[in-house]
Amino acid sequence: MDVASDRVNPIQASKLRFVKDMRERSALRLLSNMEAKRQIAVESVERASKNLASAEKRRASLEAELYLELASSDTMCVTELDRRCHLVIGRLTAEIALARQALEQAHIAQEHAQAAVVEMRAVWAKRSAASQKWQQIESDVQRRTNARAEFAAEIETDDEVLLRYKSGLRSQAAGDSIHGDSIPGDSI
């Protein structure tokens, strides 16, 4: 909104600046909240990534352990070990799939949080600029009001001096006529 400072009185300018300041503070609070949510999302991605790495490490370790056990056992237990191996590895594979899904969801949440931060930062920047503009308008209005008041005071002072001067001339003229002083060019 483009407003000329000469069309706004000081009270209006002050109120509008106050509103703009409130909106800027509100946007800054929201930006801070969004930044906190983004940080939580970043930490969530880190946690999900660590969980996935841990699950993959457990699976690799258990696979190696089961295959060593399978290789060292006799043929009667091989089928049982193989079945057990498939069950354990299947469970760990499902755990890894869940960890990957959690990591993917954490990445998506982080992207959304980052986009929200960028958007809110733009809103805050606009509101901050508006607040600064209204501070300038309020300052201009105050300067203009002060200049007008100073000018009015000067005029009033000049009027008082002029009034005293005129009344001084009148009283002098009245005093001259009472004392019978002749006015030059008046000869009878």
User: What percentage of the chain has pLDDT greater than the value 90?
Assistant: 46
User: Cα(49)–Cα(107) distance, rounded to whole angstroms?
Assistant: 10
Per the domain annotation, does 95 fall within a domain? yes
Q: Nearest CA to 4 among 145, 13, 32?
A: 13
Q: How confident is the model at residue 11 (pLDDT cuts 50, 70, 90)?
A: confident
Three-class SS state of 89: helix
Per the domain annotation, does 61 fall within a domain? yes
Residues 8-28, mean pLDDT to the nearest whole number: 89
Q: Nearest CA to 96 among 40, 54, 43, 159?
A: 54
Number of H helices, E strands in the chain: 2, 0
Residues 131-136, mean pLDDT to the nearest whole number: 91
User: Cα(35)–Cα(39) distance, rounded to whole angstroms?
Assistant: 6
**Highest-confidence range of 57-66, 120-129, 135-144, by mean pLDDT?**
120-129
Three-class SS state of 149: helix
Per the domain annotation, does 106 fall within a domain? yes
User: Cα(63)–Cα(78) distance, rounded to whole angstroms?
Assistant: 15
Residue bearing the bigger pLDDT, 180 or 25: 25
Per the domain annotation, does 82 fall within a domain? yes
What's the whole-number average pLDDT of the chain? 85
Per the domain annotation, does 149 fall within a domain? no
* pLDDT beyond 80 at 26: yes
Q: What is the CATH number of the domain that holds 31?
A: 1.10.287.620
**What total of structural domains would you count in the chain?**
1
pLDDT digit string, tens, across residues 37-81: 999 999 999 999 999 999 999 989 988 887 787 777 665 566 777
Per the domain annotation, does 46 fall within a domain? yes
Range of the domain at 87: 9-138
Per the domain annotation, does 123 fall within a domain? yes
Q: Note the Cα 144 to chain centre separation in Å.
A: 30
User: Cα(172)–Cα(160) distance, rounded to whole angstroms?
Assistant: 18
Per the domain annotation, does 187 fall within a domain? no
